[in-house]
Amino acid sequence: MDDIINNIDVNQYLPAALNWATNILLAIVILLLGLWLAGKVRGIIIGLCHKYTHLDDTLFRFLGSMARYIILAFVFIAVLNRFGVQTASIIALLGAAGLAIGLALQGAMSNLAAGVMLLIFRPYKVNDFIEAAGRFGKVTEVDMFTTILQTFDNQQVIIPNSQIWGAQIINHSHHPIRGVDMHFGVAYDENTDAVRKVIDSVLEAHPHILKDPAPFVEVETLNNSSVDFLVRPFCKGEHYFEIIYTVPELIKKALDENNIEIPFPHRKVILVNENKD
């Protein structure tokens, strides 16, 4: 009698046990394959940075991580499904949670979207000197959410990418050769050819001013009290700030040495004596 009862118990619970063992084994297999696939896809996407060198590595690392987490999410749902868990409700819950998080982090998401666009189109890169969001400095880091600048007085400026993308960006390091615009005014009594000769001599003597393209020195404006010259020497990008902060003083000294007057604004006043007989 006991043997019959034991056989009934075994026959009753054996299929359920085998089913659970099979589900556990399949869940482990799915989990291991999912982890391998997620890592493999992430590695492939990150490896694309060597093929598309014009795009930033940070973009591929971000996309690789996103692909990995998406695959792991599907793997997690597949594992739960093996144990009979209703995954439809979990997917709906995750969707609602994602929507709520997205609404709560609108600013962060806009920075993320702007960061992706900046990394794809690359209007600037690390070590470029840029002017963006009302700040000027050298780019030290570009990530998915912020751009970090180093100013000339050695301050660190962290700018959200959403403030940069969609607004004007001036990249001072994009072209290897830069023109440096400067303006100088001389008195109307001075000979413009003589003034041009003095300015040309200063530019020619400067070690960082290029001969080709040749400097541009011409009269630009006839102002109320001065004849204004536009002076545009050309230099390599790394010498731009040295030129703009040294040449004006050199030209001022050269004009003084040649007795060429640099006027200041003045106004002529004529007094009329109406009481004169």
pLDDT for 274 beyond 80: no
Kindly state the DSSP code that residue 238 receives in the 8-state scheme. Answer: G
Q: Tell me the average pLDDT of the chain.
A: 83
Kindly state the DSSP code that residue 207 receives in the 8-state scheme. Answer: T
The pLDDT score that the predictor gives to residue 41 is: 85
Entry pTM: 0.64
The pLDDT score that the predictor gives to residue 105 is: 52
**Closest listed residue to residue 230, CA positions, set 170, 171, 186:** 186
Looking at domain 122-171, its CATH architecture is: Roll (2.30)
Q: If DSSP codes are grouped into helix, strand and coil, which group holds residue 239?
A: helix
Pick the CATH number of 177-258 from 3.30.70.100, 3.20.20.70, 3.30.70.270, 3.40.50.300: 3.30.70.100
Span 37-66, average pLDDT: 76
Q: Which residues are CB-contacts of 35 (< 8 A; sequence separation ≥ 6)? A: 72, 75
SS3 per residue for 20-81: HHHHHHHHHHHHHHHHHHHHHHHHHHHHHHHCCCCCCHHHHHHHHHHHHHHHHHHHHHHHHH
**Which pairing describes strands 146-150 and 135-142: parallel, antiparallel, or unpaired?**
antiparallel
CA distances from 265 to 226, 229, 252, 255, 269 (A): 8, 16, 17, 18, 13
pLDDT in tens, 166-219: 889 999 989 999 999 999 999 999 999 999 999 999 999 999 999 999 999 999
Tokens (6 digits) for 123: 């209007």
pLDDT for 113 beyond 80: yes
Reported confidence tier of residue 271, pLDDT bands at 50, 70, 90: confident
